[in-house]
Every structure is written in structure tokens, then in C-alpha cells.
Amino acid sequence: MKRMNWIVLFICLVITAGSAFAAEPAATKHGLMTVDNAWVKAMLSNDAAACAALYADDAVLVLPGSGAIKGKNAILEAYAGWFKDVKVTDAAVMDSHYRSAGKVSAGWGSWKVTTVPKAGGAPTTEIGTFCAVAVETNGVWKYVADHASADPAPPAKK
């Protein structure tokens, strides 16, 4: 009989916890999704400061072909240096997956960015994968870790 009481208690706890989690608003539930959406908007605005504002002061960013870029100021410099040479004409986060608990939200998926050189030339589209973590502080979600890698070029056709 005691075992049955524990089973009933366990089931009630699981149902209660599930109900509380389901009632959580989507923006809070997956804070990284909010940051990813703001990143796309900042990229399409070609705004280095808006991109850097999405990162915590001690964040780490890894871009395709770069080592770790540590800290918000270094991240701002990286975006500013890149926007100096190109104009972003398209940006997207695709096939994204998010997992969140409390004030921590993680995710992974694909990204696509199309740029045009400011000096002239043909547009270039890069695609890749990402894995990121965002943390909520004082009601604001920011990246603390953002790792983006470029997908390899498709094999040459024979």
C-alpha cells in the first residue's frame, strides 16, 4: 500500500510540473529564440552595434574561420570590421531546436547569410550550423556562447 502512495505522489508531481512548464510564455521558455530573431533583424540592418548588444559582457563568439572572440567589445570590433567590407542582403536562422530551463536557453540549427561586397562584386551566400547559449539577466536575454561554423563546400561535380 505504501508503494502505491509513492507512485500516486510521483504521478501528481509530474503532472503539476508539466502543467507549470506548459503555462510558461514562449518567449521566456526559449529565450535563445528571442535572441536569434533579434540577431537576424540586426544583420539585415547591417548594424554592428545592434549585433554586439545581443551578447553578454563576457560572452564568447566563434565565427567561421575565427578563434574565440571574447567579450562584448571584441565582438563589436569583429562585427564592425566585417560590416565595413560587406552589406548583408539576407540572413536567416533555420531548422532551429531549443531547450530551456529557467534563465538558461540553449539551441542549435542552421544559418544562412548572403552578402554583397561594398567594393563591388557578386553576392555570396554562406550556410552553416550553430550552437548557442543565452542567459536571462534582469529580464533581458543575451548570448553567452555563440559558435557558428560554415558548412563545407559541396563536392565538385564530375
Q: What would the pLDDT profile of 6-15 be if each residue is shown by its tens digit? A: 443 333 333 3
| Residue 117 included in any domain | yes
Q: What would the pLDDT profile of 88-133 be if each residue is shown by its tens digit? A: 999 999 999 999 999 999 999 999 999 999 999 999 999 999 999 9
Rounded CA gap, 86 and 41, in Å?
16
In this model, does residue 29 exceed pLDDT 90?
A: no
In this model, does residue 78 exceed pLDDT 60?
A: yes
| Residue 114 included in any domain | yes
Nearest partner of 39 among 50, 49, 24, judged by Cα: 50
| Residue 69 included in any domain | yes
| Residue 78 included in any domain | yes
Average pLDDT, the chain: 86
The pLDDT of 4-24, averaged and rounded, is 38
In 10 A of CB 62, how many CB atoms?
Answer: 17
DSSP-assigned letter for residue 152: P
pLDDT at residue number 26: 45
| Residue 156 included in any domain | no
| Residue 67 included in any domain | yes
Residues 129, 111: contact at Cβ < 8 Å? Answer: yes
pLDDT at residue number 154: 80
Rounded CA gap, 154 and 158, in Å?
12
Q: For residue 133, what are the CA distances in angstroms to 7, 61, 74, 121?
A: 36, 11, 18, 35
The pLDDT of 33-55, averaged and rounded, is 98
Phi, psi of 111 (to 5 degrees): -135, 160
Identify the domain containing residue 35 by its residue range: 26-150
pLDDT at residue number 6: 40
Residues 112, 39: contact at Cβ < 8 Å? Answer: no
pLDDT at residue number 112: 97
C-alpha cell recorded at residue 1: 500500500
Q: Quote the number of domains for the chain.
A: 1
Query: What CATH number does residue 43 fall under?
Result: 3.10.450.50
In this model, does residue 3 exceed pLDDT 60?
A: no
| Residue 40 included in any domain | yes
* CB neighbour burial string for 63-95, b if at least 16 within 10 angstroms, e if fewer: beeeeebeebebbbebbeeebeebebeebebee
Rounded CA gap, 7 and 124, in Å?
59
